[in-house]
Chain A
Amino acid sequence: QSVLTQPPSVSGAPGQRVTISCTGSNSNIGTGYDVHWYQQLPGTAPKLLIYDNTNRPSGVPERFSGSRSGTSASLAITGLQAEDEADYYCQSYDSSPSAHVVFGGGTKLTVL
């Protein structure tokens, strides 16, 4: 069971907006640790999508955005496209029992 909780799956039609939640606790996101998001296409390594809660690396479309509030974070994708179909993971730090990296369980995005 992952320390960060994500919905197993979300779906949307092309052009729609979807959001993926990442729920943590007071030992990770709630402590103030930043959240990062990764996109993983089938058979490939994860790719950095959002870092430090809201920032996009160079080359990532503006359709992808992130936010953080309290003990949770969210990834939003607008103008959904077929190539967005992938697995998405959130990542942060947890302070218990000692500071270490934690990932969410992942969310499978299906473009209908």
Chain B
Amino acid sequence: QVQPQQWGAGLLKPSETLSLTCAVYGGSFSGYYWSWIRQPPGKGLEWIGEINHSGSINYNPSLKSRVTMSVDSSKSQFSLKVTSVTAADTAVYYCARGRGRENIFDIWGQGTTVTVSS
């Protein structure tokens, strides 16, 4: 049973860099794209970007300038960095497996709450 486990700092100050990692246990890491998706408090889902095992990346055009994703296939892990965070980046961040041509998100991590506050 594939199970993503995610972690990272939960409290940041404005202008700092958000950093999260997701490790995939119990199943195949290659052959899929892995995404980060966030959800601000009381709001909807926003796709941040995706990466595969060989480092091929696609970002949401609206966030591209501040986002960097990376992968360590030897550990079945991938990471997210968001620079210059503001209160608008406060959200629950999920990692998720995307399968198929149009990213069917069939497996999700447990979510990490990130709060940006001075």
User: In whole angstroms, how far apart are the Cα atoms of A92 and B110 in the complex?
Assistant: 22
Which one, A19-27, A33-41, A64-72, A75-83, is touching chain B?
A: A33-41
Contact with B along A32-66 (1 / 0, CB 8 A): 01101010000001111001100001000000000
| Cβ–Cβ < 8 Å partners of A112 in chain B | none
The CB with the most chain A CB atoms within 10 A, among B35, B58, B104, is that of B104
What distance in Å separates the Cβ of B10 from its nearest Cβ neighbour in chain A? Answer: 16
**CB nearest neighbor in B for A87:** B44
Q: Can you report 19 A-B residue pairs in the complex whose CB atoms are below 8 A from each other? A: A34-B102, A36-B105, A45-B109, A45-B111, A46-B108, A48-B105, A48-B106, A57-B106, A91-B103, A92-B102, A97-B61, A99-B58, A100-B47, A100-B58, A100-B59, A101-B35, A105-B44, A106-B43, A106-B45
User: Given the known A-B contacts A98-B61, A100-B58, are A93 and B103 also in contact in the complex, defined by CB atoms under 8 Å?
Assistant: yes
What is the number of contacts between chain A and chain B, taking CB atoms within 8 Å? 61
CA distance A47 to B111 in the complex (A): 13
Question: Known contacts A45-B109, A45-B110, A46-B108; is A93 also within 8 Å of B102 by CB?
Answer: yes
Inter-chain contacts of B104 with A (CB < 8 A): 36, 48, 51-52
Interface size on B, residues (CB 8 A): 24
Question: Taking the nearest CB of chain B, how far is it from the CB of A22, in angstroms?
Answer: 12
Interface string of B89-118 (1 = CB under 8 A from A): 000001000101111111011110000000
B72 within 8 A of A: no
Chain B residue at minimum C-beta to C-beta distance from A48 = B106
B47 and A33: CB pair below 8 A? no
Is A89 a contact partner of B45 (Cβ separation < 8 A)? Answer: yes
Given contacts A46-B94, A101-B98, A105-B44, 5 further A-B contacts (CB under 8 A): A52-B104, A91-B103, A103-B45, A104-B44, A106-B43
Within 8 A of A (CB), among B42-97: 43-47, 50, 58-61, 94
Q: In angstroms, how far is the closest chain A Cβ from the Cβ of B2?
A: 13
A-B interface, 6 closest residue pairs, ranked by CB to CB distance from nearest: A101-B47, A45-B108, A106-B44, A103-B45, A51-B104, A105-B44
Q: Taking CB as reference atom, which chain A residue is nearest B110? A: A45
Q: Is the CB of A103 within 8 A of B46?
A: yes
